[in-house]
Structure 1
Amino acid sequence: MAESFPIDQLPTELLGKVFCHMLDNDLPHYDQRAYFVDESFGLARVSRAFRSVALSTPRLWAGVDFNCAKMEANGEIWIHYLKNVLERSKDAPLNVRLFQVTVDGGEMLARRKRLEVGTYERVPERPLSIWAVEAILEHKHRLRSLYVSMTNTTDELPRAFGTGALPLLESFTIKHHAVVRPLQDNLFIEAPRLHELRVDSQLFSRDHGRTRPFLQKLSQLELSNIAGIDIDVLFGILESCSSSDTLKVRGRLNELTISGGHAFVSHRETMTYRPDLVFPNLKTLRLNGPAIWHVVELVDYLNFPALRTASIMDINISQPLHRRFLQQCCLYVRNLTVQTPYASPNLPVTSSGFIADILAWCPDLVELTVSNYTLRMGDINALVSSARQLSAVSKTDEPDFIPGSNLTSLSLPFGAFQVDYRDAIVSGLLQFVELRQRAVERGMVAPPLRKVNLNHHLDREAEVLALTIQAMVSV
């Protein structure tokens, strides 16, 4: 019978790797109810052998979650533990998540009683978040990812982030909800490896400093719920991030100004001059909410030659500027999602229809989703005409451009049908699907139509129509 082998007799290095795989502390666990590295402390208390292994495994302490709201009552103790954890991580790259979330319940500090308090220096009366940031930034040269979500902070917190270089930082998320003093230029720290930046609910000042060159390495940028941003800052971000793969601009950019000699077209100003902003690597663009009203005004200066996926929310199809933005910036898009503010059968209609225009603007379009849209007869005519032309073209031909020739998916959720044309629209949709399927069966150049979606449509006949179309497409 084989003898049992105590796990603590494994070599220290091997057992340390087992610990790291078990806790997966390479990244923070993002549990707002948990205490930072509690599992690591637990392992260190199992036995003397385990404690020795834990203390000699820096990576075990490299993923830190720290909830300032939960630890405010005994902040000096928790700052002591935070410093100990950071010291135990030695030279390992750090992944830190610092947040301020109040958790209900009377056991907020119950686990603290099971920890060995040891000796510590008493923390003066300052916000715990400031002490936590300062403790973390003492090791800023080892920060690989940093997530900060704070509320009710003072102006000391933003200032702390503008202190020195972060040579290993790859991902930075900052969320402020009640900042007394605007962040100004402290966000734009020196981080040559930074490729992911997210800013949420952040106030920017009008005397914002210049952006730094590190932004050139960003592959993903997200600006969410921004209350105010100087146009110099916005242009600086766009220029610095011209190599980004993904650009997300969401929320409300509603305090745009003219400063620093840069001109910008806004609700009250006119554009004089601005160099082109070319994004040669940008593949995904998402615009959501009132942000679109300001971003589309850059249409004459933006160029997205590699853009393949675009999601444009709350677009006003009656605004020429919005339509021109789609026409110029989505020229090479293959997957397009557009949401209009609302659908109403009684809205004024254009002669051609919005979907017809999109098909003409985007020759490579494969998947199209248009939400809250009132389907016009002009749209149906364009779809049927496209399908009819495709059904007459063979693979040996080299036809001129046919709008919608690459379309395989058409989704129209939460939409409506133009008043007085309901029957013709229903008939036209069925004819479009039938012609496209017939073209595929005959071996024509058209790709197969895989989906026509009318989910949650406002028209009473849409549900039956959707089932009929789905049956035709599934054949």
Structure 2
Amino acid sequence: MEEVASQGRFNDLPEDLLIKVFQHLAGESATRCRRSSGPMLSIVVVAQVSHSWRAAALGAPRAWSHIDLNFSDVSALPRRSLAYLDALLERSKAVPLHIRLYNYCPKHDPGRPGGNQASHYFRSYDWGACERAFHALLRHAHRWKTFALSCEASSHEARRALLRRFHVPMPQLQEFAVHLQNSDGFHTRGATAKDTPLLPSAPSVHTVDIDQGFLRYVVFPRSIQLSSLTLGGYRSKFVGDISAILAACPNLQRLRLDNKHSSFGGVLTFRDGPTVETINSRRIDTRNSRRIELPALTDIQVLNGASDALVAINGELVLHSLRSITVRPILWHGDTSAFLTTVCLQLCYLNVQLAHRRQQTLSISDIVRQFPYMEELIAENWTVEATDFGELAQRDVGRNLTRLSLPECAFSPQGDEEVVAAAALRLVRYKMNQQGRETAPFILELPHHATIPERLHTELEHLRGVTNDTQWDM
């Protein structure tokens, strides 16, 4: 940057490019500020800034529309003054705003190692400055396009009050996120009144990421037409009426559940699943439970053992369009086959990760057999046997499978990798014979650390040359 500026080349750049350079430098500086563990703010310094660059930046409102304020880190002090915020709000004029606000008090624990530093951060926290900045931003809520808040609210009253602050008109808001910090040990027992609507004056919002700690109080109004919903939390199971929330989001396309912090444990198990006729009969039986139909939902992500909420309402869900599930890692306790076999019959994509191989209670071929429409399977940290590849080479098992990825998997039994590799080779040959008649090209991704005998490796390379449709990565 200094070399370009010293040669005066900035004067020759078009205005749009100058603005993009400015936004890039500002964004990189903010990112380093959030990630840096040092006491000083990382700043990009340019020796000479051309008049053209300065004029382009000052004259472009969208260059000032990204507001990132951090009140939880003393190193961010230069970027959190009210004067700094006022300058951003003024220079951005009337363009939509993208806001990220970190508003919580650092933990004060002088008894632990580094306690003096913790005390320093604790004393530097300025709640009054936070409130003044938040109040100034709320005056411009009609301009918000995206808003993300990390905050601390350690009482039911504080959480309700926070949600009510977002009841002002937000006609342009599209993405909204609110996360809780330092909430370990806080329980929602006794807070059962769901009396606080979520964003009642934000008709354009389509993406919401909300901490599970708010679910005891929040009501999802019918005016919200969400397509993406994330429910997050900390070290506790999900609380609140999950079924009521999902029932209020009939247009939902993506659902993400994330406990964020959870101890590894539990297993994933399957039992003999019901027949297709039984599944269909369950879907139309409404005598014992209300139906929650989400006809547009195609993708579910379950992270850090957050599946309990879905398992609990298994009998109510009707997900005819569900195609993709990601579970990383598998932390489910008990039998989950009821949920999987009743709502995932049409499943085409599955991404599963084992926390520990000792949790494995089913094989790769078991998974594919459970879901006859499976097209892509990514199984990480699994144990793979020769029989898995042998069963996948049968006509009625894995017929629609077009991609099998096995990162960090281990071949079993150890010391006999040649048998497993030979079975994988037979699966590749079988899929090659299918191509052109029944299925799409097949992709096989074996573990990078797998030991493939030279003879089989040569034959695989020969097959790669025969057709460009079948691929594998080793």
What SS is found at the alignment partner of 2:31? Answer: coil
1:242–1:372 Cα change, 3 Å: farther
Displacement after TM superposition at 1:211 (Å): 1.9
What SS is found at the alignment partner of 1:241? Answer: coil
In structure 1, the residue matched to 2:31 is 31
**2: CA distance between counterparts of 1:189 and 1:437?**
53
Displacement after TM superposition at 1:367 (Å): 1.5
Given that 2:307 and 2:332 are in contact with CA atoms closer than 8 Å, whether structure 1 keeps it comes out as: no
Alignment pair present for 1:328 and 2:321: no
Given that 2:233 and 2:258 are in contact with CA atoms closer than 8 Å, whether structure 1 keeps it comes out as: yes
Q: Which has the larger radius of gyration?
A: 1
In structure 2, the residue matched to 1:403 is 397
What amino acid does structure 2 have at the position aligned with 1:81? Y
Among 445, 450, 464, which residue is 1:474 paired with?
464
What amino acid does structure 2 have at the position aligned with 1:300? G
In structure 2, the residue matched to 1:146 is 147
Given that 2:238 and 2:306 are in contact with CA atoms closer than 8 Å, whether structure 1 keeps it comes out as: no
Given that 1:433 and 1:472 are in contact with CA atoms closer than 8 Å, whether structure 2 keeps it comes out as: no
What amino acid does structure 1 have at the position aligned with 2:314? V
Q: Deviations over 1:127-179 (max 9, x none)?
A: 42222111100111111111223468894883564332311111122232125
Unaligned runs of 5+ in 1: 1-5, 103-124, 255-270, 387-401
In structure 2, the residue matched to 1:235 is 243
Among 155, 169, 173, which residue is 2:173 paired with?
169
**1: CA distance between counterparts of 2:405 and 2:79?**
56
**2: CA distance between counterparts of 1:372 and 1:317?**
16
**2: CA distance between counterparts of 1:469 and 1:241?**
52
In structure 2, the residue matched to 1:453 is 446
Among 204, 208, 226, which residue is 1:193 paired with?
204
Equivalences for 1:81-96 in 2 at 5 Å?
81-96=84-99
What SS is found at the alignment partner of 1:296? Answer: helix
**2: CA distance between counterparts of 1:324 and 1:181?**
30
What SS is found at the alignment partner of 1:300? Answer: helix
1:465–1:238 Cα change, 3 Å: farther
What amino acid does structure 2 have at the position aligned with 1:451? L
1:222–1:205 Cα change, 3 Å: closer
**2: CA distance between counterparts of 1:228 and 1:164?**
31
Q: Deviations over 1:419-439 (max 9, x none)?
A: 999886555433333333344
1:223–1:253 Cα change, 3 Å: farther
1:133–1:237 Cα change, 3 Å: same
**1: CA distance between counterparts of 2:318 and 2:292?**
6
Given that 1:450 and 1:473 are in contact with CA atoms closer than 8 Å, whether structure 2 keeps it comes out as: no
1:453–1:426 Cα change, 3 Å: closer
Instruction: Report the TM-score, using the length of structure 1 for normalisation.
Output: 0.66
What amino acid does structure 2 have at the position aligned with 1:189? L
Alignment pair present for 1:132 and 2:136: no
Displacement after TM superposition at 1:467 (Å): 4.7
Displacement after TM superposition at 1:291 (Å): 0.8
What amino acid does structure 2 have at the position aligned with 1:360? R
Displacement after TM superposition at 1:243 (Å): 1.6
Among 295, 315, 318, which residue is 1:303 paired with?
318
1:335–1:316 Cα change, 3 Å: same
Given that 1:451 and 1:473 are in contact with CA atoms closer than 8 Å, whether structure 2 keeps it comes out as: no
Displacement after TM superposition at 1:65 (Å): 1.8
What SS is found at the alignment partner of 1:231? Answer: coil
Displacement after TM superposition at 1:248 (Å): 1.1
What SS is found at the alignment partner of 1:363? Answer: coil
What SS is found at the alignment partner of 2:246? Answer: helix
**1: CA distance between counterparts of 2:53 and 2:430?**
71
Given that 1:219 and 1:243 are in contact with CA atoms closer than 8 Å, whether structure 2 keeps it comes out as: yes
What SS is found at the alignment partner of 1:203? Answer: helix
What amino acid does structure 2 have at the position aligned with 1:188? L
Given that 1:221 and 1:248 are in contact with CA atoms closer than 8 Å, whether structure 2 keeps it comes out as: yes
Given that 1:172 and 1:198 are in contact with CA atoms closer than 8 Å, whether structure 2 keeps it comes out as: yes
In structure 2, the residue matched to 1:365 is 374
Equivalences for 1:62-461 in 2 at 5 Å?
62-69=65-72, 78-99=81-102, 126-150=127-151, 155=158, 158-159=162-163, 161-178=165-182, 188-190=198-200, 191-199=202-210, 203-204=213-214, 206=216, 208-216=217-225, 218-226=226-234, 227=236, 229-232=238-241, 234-251=242-259, 273-315=288-330, 319-320=334-335, 322-344=336-358, 354-375=363-384, 379-386=388-395, 402-412=396-406, 413-417=408-412, 427-440=422-435, 444-456=437-449
In structure 2, the residue matched to 1:264 is none
What amino acid does structure 2 have at the position aligned with 1:372? N
1:317–1:16 Cα change, 3 Å: closer
What amino acid does structure 1 have at the position aligned with 2:349? N
The count of aligned residue pairs is 397
Q: Deviations over 1:373-406 (max 9, x none)?
A: 33467644522322xxxxxxxxxxxxxxx33112
Displacement after TM superposition at 1:246 (Å): 1.8
Displacement after TM superposition at 1:249 (Å): 1.0
What SS is found at the alignment partner of 1:90? Answer: coil
What amino acid does structure 1 have at the position aligned with 2:205? L
1:170–1:209 Cα change, 3 Å: closer
**1: CA distance between counterparts of 2:455 and 2:328?**
26
Unaligned runs of 5+ in 2: 1-7, 35-39, 107-125, 263-285, 466-474
1:88–1:425 Cα change, 3 Å: closer
